[in-house]
């Protein structure tokens, strides 16, 4: 792999459609999975109100989020390129809902029918702390400015 770390992040974000959430449960942190899309540099999550992670987020907006190259794509799991993000997840406000929904469905078209259910809700996750692992021994902090440069680029 000789691409820049910026290019590595772009490849990961194109390649992967799922994220792993760390949310605050009653007895400790809980790990769960949710598909994601990027919109205006933020991460969109479409979550069922019936799911534990959604109730956890409504109680405590501070969450962790990991996006990881599928393990079938590498020989050694430790070398899997991945992003570890921390920040707050909040419901998408009414005025941004149509644009966010369009962006989400453009990334995850099969979710169309879920928008018909009353129990799903769009959340926006704003990364505040960003850590990139590009492979074994290749890790770095990414600033918010660098993140938006990468994710807002055409």
Q: Enumerate binding residues for its own copies (CB under 8 A).
A: 16-18, 20-25, 27-33, 35, 60, 62-66, 68, 70-73, 75-78, 80, 82, 84-86, 108, 110-111, 129
Work out how close the CB of 146 gets to its own copies at its nearest, in angstroms, rounded to a whole number: 20
Q: Which residues contact 35 (CB under 8 A, 6 or more apart)?
A: 17, 18, 19, 45, 46, 108, 111
Q: String of b and e for 30-44 (b: at least 16 CB within 10 Å)?
A: eebebbbbbbeebbb
Q: Which is nearer to its own copies, 70 or 152 (CB)?
A: 70
Q: Which is nearer to its own copies, 96 or 121 (CB)?
A: 121
Work out how close the CB of 145 gets to its own copies at its nearest, in angstroms, rounded to a whole number: 20
d(CA 6, CA 148): 11
Q: Which is nearer to its own copies, 93 or 136 (CB)?
A: 136
């Amino acid at each position: 792999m000789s691409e820049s770390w910026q290019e590595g992040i772009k490849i990961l974000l194109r390649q992967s459609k799922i994220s792993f959430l760390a949310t605050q449960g009653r007895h400790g942190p809980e790990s769960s999975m949710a598909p994601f899309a990027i919109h205006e540099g933020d991460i969109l999550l479409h979550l069922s109100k019936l799911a534990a992670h959604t109730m956890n987020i409504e109680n405590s907006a501070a969450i962790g989020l990991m996006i990881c190259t599928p393990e079938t794509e590498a020989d050694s799991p430790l070398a899997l390129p991945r992003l570890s993000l921390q920040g707050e997840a909040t419901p998408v406000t009414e005025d941004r809902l149509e644009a966010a929904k369009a962006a989400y469905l453009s990334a995850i078209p099969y979710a169309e029918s879920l928008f018909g259910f009353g129990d799903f809700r769009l959340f926006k996750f704003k990364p505040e702390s960003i850590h990139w692992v590009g492979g074994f021994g290749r890790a770095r902090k990414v600033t918010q400015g660098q993140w938006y440069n990468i994710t807002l680029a055409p």
